[in-house]
Structure 1
Amino acid sequence: MDIDVIVTKASNPKGVTFELDDGNGKTQSLDFKNDKHPGIIIYFNIVDPDETGLVFKPTPSNALWVESQGTPPACPTSPSTWNQFVPLSVERSGKQLIVYNRNKAQKQFAFTFWFEWPGGKSVDYDPIGNNQNGQRE
């Protein structure tokens, strides 16, 4: 599954805005479905039309934090993991984050991407995920 992470310059405190495009249009929330067959490899690809230079943090566990507790779960504010949504690798000179979504737990979760500006300053983005797959039948 390929998902674009669109970065646009902005005059807000972060200096950018973010949107996701899963092929069905721009969104801030992603639904993950795989016809009751757990396991989706997701390629999050930075699309940077304004040439901001943002890249994912180079260590996968620093590039993605995940929180699954709570209803709805709160966006993670510290490094956190969930065994259903696992960052595997940062590729393409930091422009791609590869994640394995086991998609066995049918539930909503929150995640935070972490990026770096040229020079190393960090910036975050907090979309929402929704596993709609569940166990194999």
Structure 2
Amino acid sequence: ACGDAWAAAIDGERVALCVADGLGHGPEAARASEAALEVFAQAPFGDLVGMAERAHRALLGLRGAAVCALRWDGPAATVQSTSIGNVAARLVSGVADRSVPAQHGTVGLQIRKPQEAAIQPPDHAIAVVHTDGIEGRWHARSIHALL
């Protein structure tokens, strides 16, 4: 069993995404990440700070997880996010590359008051969200090669 998991919801031009990385590997890590996604699935377009707080309570007694949730309400809208731990997110386009801020901590173990960030995406951006299972030194140009 893998401790990395993700879920997405699409409503017209709105997209919500959550990526969770349960600590370690195996069934216990998978339980933690799936618990975070269950909380996200209850209201994927809801308040991101509230989702992070509910996920923290849901993961108490489990292994804990790094969690990043994004909401993008359309091409002209800002990207709203809350990210705790080492799940990385970037908004990448041919024009610019913007990182999504993350807080230190582990959902279910120890977090500060979750914060919501608002990032203006560059034109024609895509969101790239990944766990530490992906090499941290990838380049935006490798995304362009895939498109």
Shorter-chain TM-score range: 0.3 to 0.5
Higher normalized strand content (fraction of residues): 1
Q: State the TM-score, normalized to the length of structure 2.
A: 0.34
- Greater relative CO, 1 or 2 (CA 8 Å, sep 6+): 1
Using structure 1 for the length normalisation, give the TM-score: 0.36
